[in-house]
Chain A
Amino acid sequence: MRKRVFKIFAYLYIPVLILSLYLFLSQKKEKIELLSDYQRKDTSIKKKYLEDQFYSFVNNTQYWSTLKYPINFDPLKEHVSFMSPYLEIIRGITDYDQFRFLDLEGNEFFRAERTKVNSVKLRPLQNKIEREYVKNGLALEHGQTYLSQISLNRENGEIEKPHKPVIRAVSPIYDKTGKKMGIVVINFKMKRILDYLKLRASDNNIFLLDNNKRIITSSKYQEDLPYEFLERNTSLEDLYTSVPDAIKHDTTYFKNNHIWTIQQVNLHKIDSGYNTLSGAPLKVVSPTNWKLAQEASPSMIKASLLPIYEGLGLFNFFAIILLASLSYMLQKNRVQKELFYKELEEKNELLTKNRDKLLKNNQFITDMNHRLEIRNEQLSEFNYLVSHNLRAPVTSMATVMDMINNEKEPQNVTMLLPKLGQVTKSIINLTEDISDYVTILDNREIKIDDVNIIDLIEEVKKDFTETLLDNDSFEVIIKSDAWQQVDFSKFYLRSVIHNLMSNAIKYRRENIYSYILFETRYENKNKVLSVSDNGIGIDLEKHGDNLFKLYKRFHRNISGKGMGLFLVKSQLEALDAKITIKSKENVGTTFEITF
């Protein structure tokens, strides 16, 4: 029962499961695509913001390059008055962390540092010729601006604390005559921008990476540029086992349950896209090759997918309950049906049995009927025997007695008296015959034996030895291939064979080779004994009806009581065997006994 319920359930549930999984997968894909799209857009916005900031820095720096400074510009002593309004500007632009002028030898000749939010102070000058940005800055042509890597500000070789991530923008400066006199270096504070980048609406991780995938800033770290102060390397590889390779194009993809978005921060785009203060296009020189990356973590994706998972689970939960109960009901129904059919079958079987029994009974009754019919016939025969054959002599006797009584002459009486003896004799003969017949009819006493037909024929043959001795042209042939044994009364069968053999000898044709042939065979599963001779035969048309009747004789000049075939038939019928005859005059006679 349980197994079959489960089978039905499986048939119903598996398609539902497949469908729900398919829907789940497509929903999941859609959701991930949606997440990817959001992430891509968010990254784009942040990139745009970053680019805008850099544009602003570059544009800002460019401004200082367009000023016409006095010849032998010395802002600290000779040209303090020229510088003082500009100092106000420097103080006002809060993104400025440091503002410096350097001469062509890399010596600072003006250095202003922001000490508080709205306070800028002049600081002692330093030589920065060894610094990368100075070297690159001095090499700039007119109109070009150099943008450095983002780094933590260092003073005298030490990282300034608290950490101050800065980016340096450098532009050449010229005097009134147009002679290049040095460079302007502005340290822009990056903290605000980087903090902005780290802002996030969701739990995505945001990274600004340099060319070596080192993390400049990340939502994962509170401090920026961790590689500068931490001993261990802090590149993306250190955080993830599987990270995007060097990617040249912007991309967003889903891999290993992470959604990655990588976009290039394109500083060179500033060249063409923005209007400048001076009207001339901005030309940026920069070693930077930043990438802005966003990652949606597996746990975050999982959290977004949770409603879909829940939907799948809930749907399948209800489907399982519904289909399981449906299967149970179906199976129960089926079992009931089977039970019903089984009962029906049993009833049918019972009916069939009853019918078979009835048929058997019918057959039994038919057989019984048949036997009763034969019995009836036999009794009728017996009745006739008694009533007719006994009646005749008795009537005759009465007539003789009547005559004797009426006879007056004693002479005539003595003539009549022997007639009475004749009647008596015939009555005695008749009673003997009747006795023989009654013995046959009363077949309760008959013993049934397993008779060997060959032995029996050979035995009967000896009865006629004398007859056969003086006539060697009579032969008894036995063909018993089909069967040799038969269940019958040996006494009766002996009598039957004796009578038939006696007839065959009595009614053989003179001067020809005569024989009697006993042959066994099967017909409709019944044993049949065929007894044929080549004797004188009999006209069946004339005598057929009377052939097996009592006191019928058909051949004059041949002795006979007219009792032989009557007894044969009676003895066979007493044990349910049948006898038929075929005969042709001067050809022979064939009797067939069916047991």
Chain B
Amino acid sequence: MDKKSNVLLVDDDELYLYLMEKTIKEMTQDIEVNSFTDGEQAVEFVSKCTKEKKTLPKVIFLDINMPFLDGWGFLAEFKKLKSKIEQQINIYIVSSSVRESDIKKAAEYEELTDYMIKPIDRKKLAGIFTKAYNVT
């Protein structure tokens, strides 16, 4: 791996963010984690990276229910920015919602890589990172 890889965590559950960051750090030191508690902040971050030509996170873990701008709102904004983004970005919905309507709605977004239900254990995370960064 040439550079330090980026992961973006978007969730209003701060405890979840803490636990995820902790877990990822324990797995590898090569991944830098950026986390935000709502979609609005995440959109600002992505558009800032695009403007400043910084490397975008290859993996985004996105919650649905968040204040100010929810997961769907983020996806809508992300679509607008997509034309300016060259690299492949894997967006995973990570929600505790097992609601059928949410899962169906998620399937309609081609930007999404997968829909995952909390909790995400190390094994799953490892699989995602292996796929995204071709590392173990």
Pairwise interchain contact A387-B68, C-beta atoms closer than 8 A: no
| Interchain CB contact (< 8 A) of B15 among A419, A555, A556 | A419
Pairwise interchain contact B16-A392, C-beta atoms closer than 8 A: yes
Residues on B with beta carbons closer than 8 Å to the beta carbon of A391 = 96, 98, 118
Pairwise interchain contact B15-A423, C-beta atoms closer than 8 A: yes
Residues on B with beta carbons closer than 8 Å to the beta carbon of A545 = 72
Bitwise interface map of B from 81 to 105 toward A, beta carbon under 8 Å scored 1, else 0: 0000000000000011111000000
A384 contacts the other chain (CB 8 A): yes
A337 contacts the other chain (CB 8 A): no
Q: For A394, give the chain B residue with the smallest CB separation.
A: B96
A552 contacts the other chain (CB 8 A): yes
B40 contacts the other chain (CB 8 A): yes
Given the known interface contacts A423-B15, A554-B67, A556-B68, the answer about A395 and B118 at a Cβ–Cβ threshold of 8 Å is yes
Query: Chain B: interface secondary structure?
Result: loop
Pairwise interchain contact A556-B96, C-beta atoms closer than 8 A: no
A249 contacts the other chain (CB 8 A): no
A292 to chain B, nearest CB (A): 132
Residues on B with beta carbons closer than 8 Å to the beta carbon of A392 = 13, 16, 96, 118
A391 to B40, CA, bound (A): 24
Q: For A412, give the chain B residue with the smallest CB separation.
A: B22
| Interchain CB contact (< 8 A) of A400 among B19, B67, B69 | B19
Pairwise interchain contact A556-B19, C-beta atoms closer than 8 A: no
A23 contacts the other chain (CB 8 A): no
A172 to B118, CA, bound (A): 178
A380 to chain B, nearest CB (A): 8
**Contacts of B107-121 to chain A: CB distance below 8 A:** 118-119
Report, as a range, how many residues of chain A touch the other chain. Answer: 20 to 34
Pairwise interchain contact A388-B67, C-beta atoms closer than 8 A: no
Residues on A with beta carbons closer than 8 Å to the beta carbon of B96 = 387-388, 391-392, 395
Pairwise interchain contact B98-A556, C-beta atoms closer than 8 A: no
Pairwise interchain contact A552-B73, C-beta atoms closer than 8 A: no
Residues on A with beta carbons closer than 8 Å to the beta carbon of B22 = 403
A127 to B46, CA, bound (A): 184
A129 to chain B, nearest CB (A): 163
**Contacts of A384-400 to chain B: CB distance below 8 A:** 384, 387-389, 391-393, 395-396, 398-400
A179 to chain B, nearest CB (A): 171
Among B68, B69, B70, the one with the most A-chain Cβ atoms within 10 Å of its Cβ is: B68
A230 to B18, CA, bound (A): 167
B65 contacts the other chain (CB 8 A): yes
A553 to B68, CA, bound (A): 5
Bitwise interface map of A from 556 to 569 toward B, beta carbon under 8 Å scored 1, else 0: 10000010000000
Q: For A545, give the chain B residue with the smallest CB separation.
A: B72
| Interchain CB contact (< 8 A) of A562 among B16, B67, B69, B97 | B67
Pairwise interchain contact A554-B68, C-beta atoms closer than 8 A: yes
Given the known interface contacts A395-B118, A542-B69, A552-B70, the answer about A388 and B99 at a Cβ–Cβ threshold of 8 Å is yes
Residues on B with beta carbons closer than 8 Å to the beta carbon of A543 = 73
Pairwise interchain contact A396-B15, C-beta atoms closer than 8 A: yes
Pairwise interchain contact B118-A387, C-beta atoms closer than 8 A: no
Instruction: Give the number of residues in B that approach A within 8 Å (Cβ atoms).
Output: 22
Pairwise interchain contact A384-B99, C-beta atoms closer than 8 A: yes
A422 contacts the other chain (CB 8 A): yes
Residues on B with beta carbons closer than 8 Å to the beta carbon of A423 = 15
A419 to B96, CA, bound (A): 19
B44 to chain A, nearest CB (A): 11
A546 contacts the other chain (CB 8 A): yes
Given the known interface contacts A556-B40, A562-B67, the answer about A396 and B99 at a Cβ–Cβ threshold of 8 Å is no
Residues on A with beta carbons closer than 8 Å to the beta carbon of B40 = 556
Residues on A with beta carbons closer than 8 Å to the beta carbon of B73 = 542-543
A395 to B15, CA, bound (A): 10
Residues on A with beta carbons closer than 8 Å to the beta carbon of B95 = 388
Q: For B16, give the chain A residue with the smallest CB separation.
A: A396
Q: For A562, give the chain B residue with the smallest CB separation.
A: B67
**Contacts of A546-591 to chain B: CB distance below 8 A:** 546, 551-556, 562
A554 to B39, CA, bound (A): 11
A430 to chain B, nearest CB (A): 12
A330 to B121, CA, bound (A): 99
Q: For A396, give the chain B residue with the smallest CB separation.
A: B15
Given the known interface contacts A399-B19, A422-B15, the answer about A384 and B97 at a Cβ–Cβ threshold of 8 Å is yes
Residues on B with beta carbons closer than 8 Å to the beta carbon of A387 = 96-99
Q: Which residues of A contact B (CB under 8 A)?
A: 384, 387-389, 391-393, 395-396, 398-400, 403, 419, 422-423, 426, 542-543, 545-546, 551-556, 562
29 residue pairs A–B, Cβ–Cβ below 8 Å: A384-B97, A388-B65, A388-B95, A388-B96, A388-B98, A388-B99, A391-B96, A393-B13, A395-B96, A395-B118, A399-B19, A399-B119, A403-B19, A403-B22, A419-B15, A419-B18, A419-B19, A422-B14, A422-B15, A543-B73, A551-B67, A552-B67, A552-B70, A553-B67, A554-B67, A555-B68, A556-B40, A556-B68, A562-B67
Known pairs A388-B96, A542-B73; list 13 more (Cβ under 8 Å).
A388-B65, A388-B95, A391-B96, A393-B15, A395-B16, A395-B96, A423-B15, A542-B69, A546-B70, A551-B67, A552-B70, A553-B68, A556-B68
Q: Which residues of B contact A (CB under 8 A)?
A: 13-16, 18-19, 22, 40, 65, 67-70, 72-73, 95-99, 118-119
Q: Which are the 8 A-B pairs with shortest beta-carbon distances?
A: A553-B67, A391-B96, A392-B96, A396-B15, A395-B119, A388-B97, A395-B118, A399-B19
